């Protein structure tokens, strides 16, 4: 059994997809980021960065193992199950390269762009353009990588699961995919997988249906080291 600390976001979706693809038994523990559940001591003991997703793998060898950060979780699950990580030396290297590309480039750029699209509309035009351009650039990198390839590496892998949710939301971020035909084809191919559909639908009833209140904004944004250090 895996305890899955989750809130429906692209980072959460990629772990949900992996759990579904592997057919692993898990239970969802919602962490309501608008209420500040991510700062509770019991969650910080698992995820010291107070971010989702996180897991506790209760079936791991040697006893329960907590894992935080989505990329680390994907690697842990791939190694535990022997699935969705290429086993050749070169294949493993490329899978990890593209996984780290997502967690260091595509995800952060899309996430920052999402902030200006959804929470700071009309503010900071330079910042909005900066992240929109970087997101566009990342899609160009992925477009070139997918030239003549069905998936990011030789087979469907955690590299695809990591990047796909951030491309799924391209249109809401203001980026159409007409200029990226390889990315559009790849996006649609993965979207048809039943496990992917189940992963994206997980916890859909928890998704935000209204703008955050002022109290929620104080919890969600503008956190500093002082906020982290003074919490119990």
pLDDT at 212: 72
Instruction: Work out the average pLDDT over 173-192.
Output: 97
pLDDT at 89: 95
Predicted confidence band of residue 173 (pLDDT cuts 50, 70, 90)? very high
**pLDDT at residue 14 above 80?**
yes
> Which token pair is 146?
């997918």
Domain-by-domain residue ranges, the chain?
2-83+209-229, 89-197
pLDDT at 165: 98
Name beta bridge partners: 44.
Answer: none
**pLDDT at residue 164 above 60?**
yes
pLDDT in tens, 121-152: 777 888 999 999 999 999 999 999 999 999 99
pLDDT at 231: 59
Mean model confidence pLDDT for the chain: 92
**pLDDT at residue 219 above 70?**
no
Instruction: Work out the average pLDDT over 108-113.
Output: 95
Q: Please give the model's pTM, rounded to 2 decimal places.
A: 0.92
pLDDT at 224: 76
User: What is d(CA 76, CA 57) in angstroms, rounded to the nearest whole number?
Assistant: 9
pLDDT in tens, 36-90: 898 899 999 999 998 999 999 999 888 899 999 999 999 999 999 999 999 899 9
Domain 89-197 has CATH 1.10.490.130: no
User: What is d(CA 71, CA 111) in angstroms, rounded to the nearest whole number?
Assistant: 15
Same fold, 2-83+209-229 and 89-197: no
What would be the CATH architecture of the domain defined by 2-83+209-229?
Answer: 3-Layer(aba) Sandwich (3.40)
pLDDT at 60: 87
Predicted confidence band of residue 210 (pLDDT cuts 50, 70, 90)? low
Higher pLDDT, 160 or 50: 160
pLDDT at 123: 74
């Amino acid at each position: 059994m895996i305890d899955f600390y989750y809130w429906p976001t692209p980072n959460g979706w990629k772990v949900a997809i992996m759990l579904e693809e592997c057919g692993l038994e898990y239970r969802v523990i919602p962490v309501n980021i608008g209420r500040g559940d991510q700062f509770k001591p019991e969650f910080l003991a698992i995820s010291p960065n107070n971010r989702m997703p996180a897991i506790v793998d209760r079936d791991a060898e040697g006893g329960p193992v907590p894992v935080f950060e989505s990329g680390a979780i994907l690697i842990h699950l791939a190694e535990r199950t022997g699935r969705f990580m290429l086993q050749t030396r070169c294949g493993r290297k490329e899978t990890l390269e593209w996984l780290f590309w997502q967690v260091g480039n595509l995800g952060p750029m899309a996430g920052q762009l999402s902030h200006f699209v959804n929470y700071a509309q009309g503010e900071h035009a330079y910042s909005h353009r900066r992240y929109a351009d970087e997101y566009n650039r990342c899609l160009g990198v992925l477009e070139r990588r997918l030239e003549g390839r069905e998936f990011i590496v030789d087979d469907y892998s955690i590299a695809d699961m990591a990047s796909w949710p951030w491309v799924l939301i391209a249109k809401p971020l203001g980026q159409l995919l007409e200029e990226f035909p390889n990315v559009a084809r790849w996006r649609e191919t993965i979207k048809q997988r039943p496990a992917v559909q189940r992963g994206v639908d997980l916890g859909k009833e928890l998704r935000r249906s209204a703008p955050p209140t002022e109290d929620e904004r104080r919890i969600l944004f503008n956190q500093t080291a002082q906020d982290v250090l003074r919490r119990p």
